[in-house]
Structure 1
Amino acid sequence: MVVHSTEYSDIIFNSELEILQVIWKAKPTDSAFIDTYLRGLDFVQEGRPVMFYCTDLTLIGPLEREQEAWLNNVYYSKLQSTLNADVCVAVVFNEEHFKAIITNYTATKSATSHDFIVFNYFTDREEAIHWLETVKKGQDTILLPTSSKL
């Protein structure tokens, strides 16, 4: 189901897998970037407690520093206060972007801690979705009794 679509991005909700995807189609302006994420948050606030997300950056490359700062300083806090639960986010990069991240990686302490988010990084969206499915199935299994004898 398409939640929102612009020249910059598509927000798609897969109700079967319970995954909300943001697929970037073109490098967004800062206002288009913020609008996209707020539209996704509106969708979640309308009664769909989504715990699994996939952001596909393969067509746009790295985010601008201001965009990353907005995610870290504003958006993630809004998401946490909306859900009050842990979430999993799969981020998909193109090969060049992924290699650059690995090559230039330096561990730094984030100014803001987002312990409620588990991130994982991929170069293939299908692999990212598979990871989210696996995590979801693992959580579902935890909720089921392992024995019929109680």
Structure 2
Amino acid sequence: MVVHSTKFSDIIFNSELEILQVIWKAKPTDNAFIDTYLRGLAFVQEERPVMLYCTDLSLIGPLEREQEAWLNNVYYSKLQITLNTEVCVAVVFNEDHFKAIITNYTATEAATSHDFILFNYFTVREEAIHWLESVKKGQDTVLFPTSARL
């Protein structure tokens, strides 16, 4: 089911697997980026709670710093307030983007902790969907980090 579609992205909900996908088709403006995620959030708030997500960045490469900051500082908090449970997110990169991330990886402490989200990274969307499907079926042991806060 297509939830929302623009020249920048498609939001698709697979009701059988209960996976909400954001597939980026073109590098979005900041407004288009925010609008896409807020429309996905509206679907989760108004239609049905979703715990499995796939974001496909393979056609657009890395997000802008401001876009990543908005996800970390605004969107993930809204998602947590909406669902109040753990979620799994499969992120799909193209090969070059994935290699650049691995090559340039530096461990840093996140400014904001989102312990309720388990991320997994892929270079093929079908593999990402397969992982989410296996999580749904309970075939994977999903361990969410425990908060160090007391």
Q: TM-score by structure 1 length?
A: 0.92
Moved over 4 A (4+): none
**Is 1:6 the counterpart of 2:21 in the alignment?**
no
Q: Which residue of 2 aligns with 1:124?
A: 124
Q: Which residues of 2 match residues 127-142 of structure 1 at below 5 A?
A: 127-138=127-138
Query: Distance between the aligned counterparts of 1:47 and 1:95, measured in 2?
Result: 34
CA distance in 2, matches of 1:122, 1:6: 24
Work out the number of aligned pairs and report it.
141
CA distance in 2, matches of 1:136, 1:113: 24
Structure 2 counterpart of 1:9, one-letter code? S
What TM-score comes out, normalization by structure 2 length?
Answer: 0.92
Q: Secondary structure of the equivalent of 2:21?
A: strand
Residues 45-84 of structure 1: pairs in structure 2 closer than 5 A: 45-84=45-84
* RMSD of aligned alpha carbons: 1.4
CA distance in 2, matches of 1:102, 1:134: 25
Larger Rg: 1
User: Secondary structure in 2 aligned to 1:16?
Assistant: coil
* Partner residue, 2:27: 27
Where in structure 2 are there 5+ consecutive unaligned residues? Answer: 140-150
Letter of the structure 2 residue corresponding to residue 36 of structure 1: T
Give SS of 2:138's match.
Answer: helix
Work out the CA distance in 2 between the residues paired with 1:36 and 1:90: 17
